[in-house]
A and B are shown apart, each in its own frame.
Chain A
């Protein structure tokens, strides 16, 4: 797979340091699964984290901390409990990347035949909305703008906007104020994961659909 669009240094550092919000982290993890170059960059950043950790001055521990710890390691580890939510039969799960397998994905909500969105439930209460977007061959998305930063990773197929063509594995960052209307490129459908802070702003009459789509 050849990947041409990568997360910025700033996004990768936030990912490596644990500061990236849940939705963008998911988008980033999906990209990393496909991109050895960015995996190497994140590994280097984690090494920086390790060295910085080692340099930190010590915070005093509770007087009994070591004894408590030594007692704790003697206890047998609890047997791992698999808490897997019953799959939603309406949920779309075919061929999703590893990082998405554990997520709860809502039902598909169709905009047009072939075009749908499905919410990816967040693990954290924050302002990011994360969803899968599917569009059929040749379809154009609704004209929309962003209220805040938006991060997209392409899962399959390709789309094109004024700035370029994005294919499976590519990671795209957009900022507020960039109204655009991407279109599916090539002869297959396009599936992507989008995480947008504050959600998107659909333009025109189509905004009536927004409460239904939950984007």
Chain B
């Protein structure tokens, strides 16, 4: 590896080194209640660098129940949802070094892994091991600390912007991501015209994207 790769540590690693207890035996870390306070990107970095099982357990405890919840909302049966959540986290374990915090936040990366696994499960075409072909897992250039920080800050702004969206727009955004229904069905379910669904989505996305990219 060349010097540049060492010099360009992602901000998450450079700015906040993983707390010491992460290198202790797993049981000690797993029992700690504040594990969720550790940024997921830091946990993924610890997995990539040291195959840190305690970090993985913390990541699993945070994301597996949410992924299961997401997959159930998408129409998976609970046991299938749990299996896919496990598959997604297995991919995180195996491919942690492909995670590029300068390109996407940890929850975004994990969301896209689970989304693709669900699509594959539906289509029964590719097997999970073929994930290696997935563009999500193509080798990354070393991100700069600034770009990782910028990504993390963008997601924070996005989180805030979601809270301040008008309720009808936020509802359409959530339904678009979680109900696995085409917009025509969302329009029927909400009892508003299709054009209204589309324009709410467009307005919402414009605001969210402006927040993500820090534009007015």
- Residues of chain B lying within 8 A (CB to CB) of residue A59: 65-66, 68-69, 72, 78, 81
Name the distance in Å between A79's Cβ and chain B's nearest Cβ. Answer: 8
Chain B: how many interface residues by the 8 Å CB criterion? 72
- The answer to whether B61 touches A41 (Cβ under 8 A) is no
Q: Please encode chain A, from 1 to 38, with 1 for each CB lying within 8 Å of some chain B CB and 0 for all others.
A: 00000001110011001110010010000000000000
B201 x A50 contact (CB < 8 A): no
- Chain B 93-115, CB within 8 Å of chain A: the 1/0 string? 11000000001111111111011
Contact A44 B209 (CB under 8 A): yes
- Residues of chain A within 8 A (CB-CB) of B60 are 65-66, 69
Q: How far is the CA of A77 from the CA of B129 in the complex (A)?
A: 8
Interface pair B86/A70, CB less than 8 Å apart: no
Tell me if A70 and B205 are in contact (CB < 8 A). no
Contact of B178 among A47, A52, A78, A124 (CB under 8 A): A52
Q: In the complex where A13-B176, A19-B180, A47-B105 touch, is A72 in contact with B90 (Cβ < 8 A)?
A: yes
B118 to chain A: which residues have CB within 8 Å? Answer: 18
Of listed B61, B107, B177, B209, residue having the most chain A CB within 10 A? B177
A130–chain B nearest beta-carbon distance, Å: 13
Contact across chains for A46 and B64 when beta carbons are under 8 A apart: no
A8 CB contacts on chain B under 8 angstroms: 198
Decide: A80 and B132 in contact? CB cutoff 8 A. yes
B158 to chain A: which residues have CB within 8 Å? 47-48, 51
Interface membership of A187, Cβ < 8 A: no
Indicate the member of A10, A14, A43, A77 with the most B CB atoms within 10 Å: A10
B111 near A53 with CB under 8 A, answer yes
| Given A58-B69, A69-B60, A123-B125: A50 touches B132 (CB 8 Å cut-off) | no
Beyond the given A10-B198, A41-B209, A53-B67, could you list 4 further A-B residue pairs with CB under 8 A, ordered by the A residue number? A9-B202, A50-B112, A50-B155, A73-B56
Taking beta carbons and an 8 Å cutoff, which residues of A are in contact with B? 8-10, 13-14, 17-19, 22, 25, 41, 43-62, 65-66, 68-70, 72-73, 77-78, 80-81, 83, 102, 123-124
Across the A-B interface, the 5 shortest Cβ-Cβ residue pairs: A50-B108, A58-B65, A50-B107, A59-B69, A59-B68
